[in-house]
Amino acid sequence: MFQPVITATGVFTPSETITNAELVTAYNAYAARYNEDNAEAIRAGALEAKPPSSEEFIFKASGIEQRHVMDKSGLLDPAIMHPLLRARSDEEPGIMAEMALDACQKALKAAGVKASEIDLVICAASNHERAYPAIAVEIQKLLGAGGFGFDMNVACSSATFGIQAAADMIRAGSARKALVVNPEICSGHLEWRDRDCHFIFGDVCTATLIERAQETQNPLFSIRSTRCATEFSNNIRNNNGFLRRTRTSGQDLKDRRDMQFMQEGRKVFKEVVPMVATHILAHLEAEGIAPQALKRMWLHQANKAMNDFVGRKVLGRTPAPEEQPNILQDYANTSSAGSIIAFSQHQSGLAAGDIGVICSFGAGYSVGSVIVERL
Ligand code: CO8
């Protein structure tokens, strides 16, 4: 058996940002235009008018101040309201692979590992731009890595589930050096024309390099233990899929609302928060770690109030900001990448032997926790 250790992380951050003010201006222009175009149907009661969005609501309800995106021009155009991404030929690298390459190369550089030494690439994300060939295999080729790669999707929990898969393979001996990479183009699946959710997501890519402790000079964190759990729920759902064209219901096959992200946000909040706190506490107990011994929690970055609640439940007191760092104010919810951005950016102040937990949660429902020890 080999001990898996995290030796580096890498983050690709798109250069374009959208502030809440920009977002709300674009949405409100879209809503005004929609209400004007459909004035007759709205007056007749056949359609509902779209109410305006507000910066105050967004910040108060979520803690989000801005988001990074791959393309803001389409998102801020009231006549478009989705990202505009250049169509690529099959001979060019795909956009997810391109984002992944940047994040992986940053992680490899930080650890001083050559791409050719990598023998496992897991592309773990909540959406994949095509069905096959796997994005992970394309990333493997672009990197010049060996071994094998595969894609997986557990929505917001993809990164921690991917880390568990990689850590288990390293432990068992079927992989030596693994990259778990999370290219999240959430802007492609968000419904920017729905004020209930238009502020939630942003784009980013994270990568985590995991190696055998016995074969690295520069380990950062030992992976003490991982735990994943799922419980079916329809409260976060996206019905887009390959059976789309088989439907004959007469609905718009290109632009159905349920082909984008949908959620019952209140229900998600109420049901997932206790599930996450119970999950982390049970995981710590199984490892013989008292919650008070936890020095850091890198939580999924969906909602500030949600994280505050989980932090209080786990520690039994209000965590200091450095104990439970948030990055969602700058990045919004980046699905599976959120907890890894927090992990990547907030490692200072930990001493050898300190214990922390990376935890993500979301659609499925799904929860994944990774208990790590600073080396
Ligand atoms: N501006 C002004 N008012 C608004 C707006 C807005 N933009 N939006 C809603 N309101 C109004 C509502 O209409 C409502 O009005 P009323 O009281 O008159 O009905 C009022 O404000 C309150 O609305 P809510 O009850 O919806 O507000 P909440 O306080 O619950 O906040 C949140 C909404 C922020 C969505 C909150 O419920 C939340 O964060 N919930 C948890 C969500 C979550 O964590 N989801 C996880 C999803 S991520 C995941 O699993 C990955 C999926 C894959 C990613 C795909 C990429 C797209």
Question: Residue 143 C-alpha to ligand 1 middle, in angstroms?
Answer: 39
Examine residue 245 and state whether it is found in any structural domain, yes or no: yes
> Per the structure, how many domains does the chain have?
1
CA-closest residue to ligand 1 atom 30: 266
> Distance, CA 326 to ligand 1 centroid (Å)?
19
Q: From the CA of 237, how far away is ligand 1's center (Å)?
A: 14
Full DSSP string of 64-126? --EEEES--TTTT-TTT-S-------TTSPPHHHHHHHHHHHHHHHHHT--GGG--EEEEE-S
Domain-embedded: residue 116: no
User: Which of 337, 336, 348, 241 has its CA nearest to residue 295?
Assistant: 348
Ligand 1 atom at minimal distance to the Cα of residue 188: 57
With a 6 Å cutoff on the Cβ, whether 261 touches ligand 1 is yes
161 lines ligand 1 (CB under 6 A): no
Ligand 1 closest atom vs CA 366: 50
Helix (H) or strand (E) segment spanning residue 224: strand 221-230
Q: Which are the contacts of 364, defined by CB distance < 8 A and separation ≥ 6? A: 154, 155, 157, 230, 231, 232, 233, 236
Domain that holds residue 249: 223-374
Q: Letter for the amino acid at 89?
A: S
Closest CA to 69 of 216, 190, 195: 190
Residue 268 Cβ inside 6 Å of ligand 1? The answer reads yes
- Provide the pLDDT for residue 221: 98
pLDDT for the residue numbered 250: 61
Residue 199: inside a domain, yes or no? no
Residues of the chain where predicted confidence (pLDDT) is lower than 50: none
How high is the pLDDT of residue 29?
Answer: 98
Establish if 282 belongs to a structural domain.
Answer: yes
Q: Say if 137 falls within a structural domain.
A: no
Nearest-atom number in ligand 1 for the CA of 126 is 53
Q: What's residue 245's pLDDT?
A: 79
CA of 186, closest atom in ligand 1: 56
Residue 73 lies in a domain: no
Q: Residue 251: what pLDDT?
A: 64
For residues 347 and 118, give the distance between their C-alpha atoms in angstroms, rounded to a whole number: 24
For a substitution probing ligand 1, which of 25, 190, 263 has the most ligand atoms within 8 Å of its CB?
Answer: 263
How many A from CA of 123 to the centre of ligand 1? 28
C-alpha distances (whole Å) from 82 to each of 79, 274, 357 are 9, 34, 35
User: pTM score, two decimals?
Assistant: 0.95
H or E element that contains 24: helix 20-37
CATH of residue 255: 3.40.47.10
Query: Hey, whose CA ends up nearest to atom 56 of ligand 1?
Result: 186
> Which residue is closest in CA terms to ligand 1's atom 10?
196
Give the number of residues written for the chain.
375
Q: Whose CA is nearest to atom 11 of ligand 1?
A: 196
* Residue 247: per-residue pLDDT: 73
193 lines ligand 1 (CB under 6 A): no
Q: Which residue has the tokens 């992680």?
A: 107
pLDDT tens, residue by residue, 201-259: 999 999 999 999 999 988 999 999 999 999 999 999 999 988 887 877 666 667 888 99
Q: What is the pLDDT of residue 217?
A: 87
Q: Please report whether residue 41 resides in a domain.
A: no
Residue 345 lies in a domain: yes
Cα(257) to centroid of ligand 1, in Å? 16
The catalytic residues are 156
Structure token digits, residue 77: 């155009």
259 lines ligand 1 (CB under 6 A): no
**Ligand 1 neighbour 186 (Cβ under 6 A):** yes
